[in-house]
Amino acid sequence: MRNIIYSLLSIGLFASCAKEKVEGQNFQVSTASLTYKAGDSVKFSISGNPDNLMFYSGEQGHKYELRKRDSAENDLQIDFKSLVQFGLIYQNLQLMVSNDFNGKADTTSVKAATWTDISSKAVFSAGKDSVPSGIISLKPYVNPQKPSSLIYIAFRYTDYKKTQGQNRWVIRTFAANNIAPDGTVTPLAVMSTGGWTQVNFKNTAFVWSLSAAQLLMPSSTATADDNEDWAISKGFDPTYIKQDVGTALKNISTTLPEFSYVFTKPGTYKVVFEGSAVRYNGEQRTTREVTLTITP
C-alpha cells in the first residue's frame, strides 16, 4: 500500500510540474536616440531580466529575419592560380563545368555527364608562376529546372607524343564562393577542401597528383604516350548560403542592464534583441526591435 501511495504522489507531482508554463520573457530595450553617427557608441538600455539574450545588429550577416535562411539565388564564383612549364608551352589545360555529373570518379561517369568548356573565361599561365585566373561566374551553368543541382569543376589535361615532351601544369590555389544578392559571401572551398579526385583516360604513367596544397600534372618525356587526365572537384550547391547569426549577450546566470555597440557604416539598421527561456516542458521567445539610422 505504501508503494502505491508513493507512486500516486510521484505521478501527481509530475503532472503538476508538467502543467507549469514557461514564463514569458518580459523585457524592454531603448536608446537615447534613434540617430547616431558611424563610429559612435550606441548604448542600449535593457529593463527586465530575460533568461538568455541574443543580439542581432541588422548588419550584413547579422539580420534576425535571415537567421534561418539556408538558400539564395547566389552567384557561384571560382578563381585559381596556375603554372605551366617544360615541354611545349601551350594551352592544353581546359576548365570544365557540369551540373549533371554523378560524382563518381570513373571514365564512364565522366563521359555520361554534360561538360561545358569555359576555358575562355579564365586566364591561364603561359610560363609565369601563380597566374591569377580572375573571378569566374558559374551562375550561367546552374540548371534552371533544378537550381540546387550540384556544380562540378574539372581541369582536363590533354597532351600528345611529340619531340618536345609533354608539359607540366600546376594549379597553385583554388577558391569557390557563393555570393548572395545582398553581397553575403559564403565560402564553399579552397584547395585543401575541394574534394578533388582524378580520372585517367590515357597513359596511366602520368596522372594528376592531388594534395591539400596543389594539383599537379607532371611533365613527361618525348617518348611518352598520348595523355588525358581529369582532376574533378566535389559538387557545390549554388543555392547554399550560411545563416545569419546573432551574438549571445547573457544567460540565466547573469544580468545585463545595458549594452553598447558601434556601427561603422552609415545605413538604416533593424536591431533585434531576442530574449528566451528554454525548459524541459517548452520554451518562450520574445523579441524587441529598435530601428536606428547611422549617418556618415
Annotate 236-272 with three-state secondary structure: ECCCECCCCCCEEEECCCCCCCEEEEECCCCEEEEEE
The answer to whether residue 14 is domain-embedded is no
Distances, alpha carbon 39 to alpha carbons 30, 32, 36, 272, in Å? 19, 16, 9, 20
In a shared domain, residues 79 and 221: yes
**What is the per-residue pLDDT for 222?**
82
In a shared domain, residues 40 and 133: no
In a shared domain, residues 117 and 256: no
What does the alpha-carbon distance between residue 7 and residue 51 come to, in Å, rounded to a whole number? 33
- Answer for the pair 218, 169: CB distance below 8 angstroms, yes or no: no
> Helix, strand or coil for residue 209?
strand
In a shared domain, residues 163 and 145: yes
The answer to whether residue 159 is domain-embedded is yes
In a shared domain, residues 179 and 40: no
**What is the per-residue pLDDT for 163?**
76
The answer to whether residue 150 is domain-embedded is yes
What does the alpha-carbon distance between residue 134 and residue 180 come to, in Å, rounded to a whole number? 19
In a shared domain, residues 84 and 158: yes
- Answer for the pair 50, 277: CB distance below 8 angstroms, yes or no: yes
Q: What is the pTM of this model?
A: 0.83
User: Bridge-partner residues for 36, per DSSP?
Assistant: 294
The answer to whether residue 3 is domain-embedded is no
- Which of the 8 DSSP states describes residue 235? P
In a shared domain, residues 225 and 123: yes
**What is the per-residue pLDDT for 21?**
64
Q: From first to last of its 296 residues, what are the pLDDT tens digits of the chain?
A: 444 444 444 444 444 444 456 666 789 999 999 999 999 999 999 999 999 999 999 999 999 999 999 899 999 999 999 999 999 999 999 999 999 999 999 999 999 999 999 999 999 999 999 999 999 999 999 998 888 899 999 999 999 988 788 999 999 999 999 999 999 999 999 999 999 999 999 999 999 999 999 999 999 888 899 999 999 999 999 999 999 999 999 999 999 999 999 999 999 999 999 999 987 677 899 999 999 999 99
Tell which residue, 145, 148, 156, has the closest CA to residue 178: 148
- The structural domain count of the chain equals 2
In a shared domain, residues 210 and 195: yes
Single residue among 232, 256, 281 that ends a domain in this structure: 232
CATH code for the domain in which residue 273 is found: 2.60.40.10
**What is the per-residue pLDDT for 25?**
78
Other CB atoms within 10 A of residue 17 CB: 10
What does the alpha-carbon distance between residue 44 and residue 28 come to, in Å, rounded to a whole number? 10
**Residue span of the structural domain in which 88 resides:** 75-232
String of b and e for 127-155 (b: at least 16 CB within 10 Å)? Answer: eeeebebeebebeebbeeeeeebbbbbbb
Single residue among 208, 232, 256 that ends a domain in this structure: 232
In a shared domain, residues 103 and 119: yes
The answer to whether residue 7 is domain-embedded is no
Single residue among 184, 199, 232 that ends a domain in this structure: 232
The answer to whether residue 5 is domain-embedded is no
The answer to whether residue 33 is domain-embedded is yes
The answer to whether residue 2 is domain-embedded is no
Grid cell 582532376 — which residue?
Answer: 231
Distances, alpha carbon 212 to alpha carbons 80, 105, 128, 154, 173, in Å? 14, 18, 22, 16, 10
In a shared domain, residues 143 and 179: yes
In a shared domain, residues 48 and 133: no
Grid cell 566535389 — which residue?
Answer: 234
Burial of 12 (0-12, 13-18, 19+ CB in 10 A): exposed
In a shared domain, residues 184 and 209: yes
**What is the per-residue pLDDT for 63?**
97
